[in-house]
Amino acid sequence: MDDDIEVIRELFDRYTELWIRHEMREWGELFTEDCDFITHRGVWWQSREENVRGHEHVPESVLAQKKNYSQTVVEVQPLGPGVMLVHTEWVWPDHVLPGAAVGEDRRGLVTAVLVQRSGRWWIRAAQNTRLNGLDDFAPRHVTPVDEA
């Protein structure tokens, strides 16, 4: 099992490398043909082709910033024979959206289910969740009256 965990860590190193270089066709080869990918905005792509196409079309200003992106595997858990649950954490410092005046430090988690087929690990499903996105229900700091 330790060998599988090391192979999966290497797979996500490759994932990150290809993501940064924006080589989305090759990146897509890490996924099964019937993969599911849910973006941080809640878009659900239900095949490798949809996943790749959805990630290919990115504004040039964002592509230039990909060099700032990093991702780390934080946990790998076996779910059964040939099935692993993987959690990664990503950071994207000073990410500037098209038209924005300033950048923001983004971070998030990817939860992925990997399957082993023909002696190889493949990403079957992944969900990307932003950790510091806007949340209307997040508690707001309120200054107590006696501190004001």
pLDDT tens per residue, range 18-30: 999 999 999 999 9
pLDDT top residue among 61 and 30? 30
Decide if 61 is inside a domain.
yes
Decide if 147 is inside a domain.
no
Q: Is the pLDDT score of 108 beyond 60? A: yes
pLDDT of 141 reads: 45
Under 8 Å CB-to-CB from 19, ≥6 apart: which residues?
Answer: 27, 66, 69, 71
What span, in angstroms and rounded, lies between the C-alpha atoms of 50 and 33?
A: 10
CATH number, domain at 69? 3.10.450.50
Tokens describing residue 89? 């954490």
Beta strands of the chain (E only): which ranges? 31-38, 44-45, 70-80, 83-95, 104-117, 120-130
Decide if 37 is inside a domain.
yes
The lowest-confidence range among 13-27, 44-58, 66-80, 96-110 is: 96-110
Full residue range of the structural domain in which residue 22 is found: 2-132
Decide if 141 is inside a domain.
no
Which residue matches tokens 């996500």? 12
At residue 101 the predicted structure's pLDDT band, cuts being 50, 70 and 90, is: confident
Decide if 145 is inside a domain.
no
| Total domains in the fold of the chain | 1
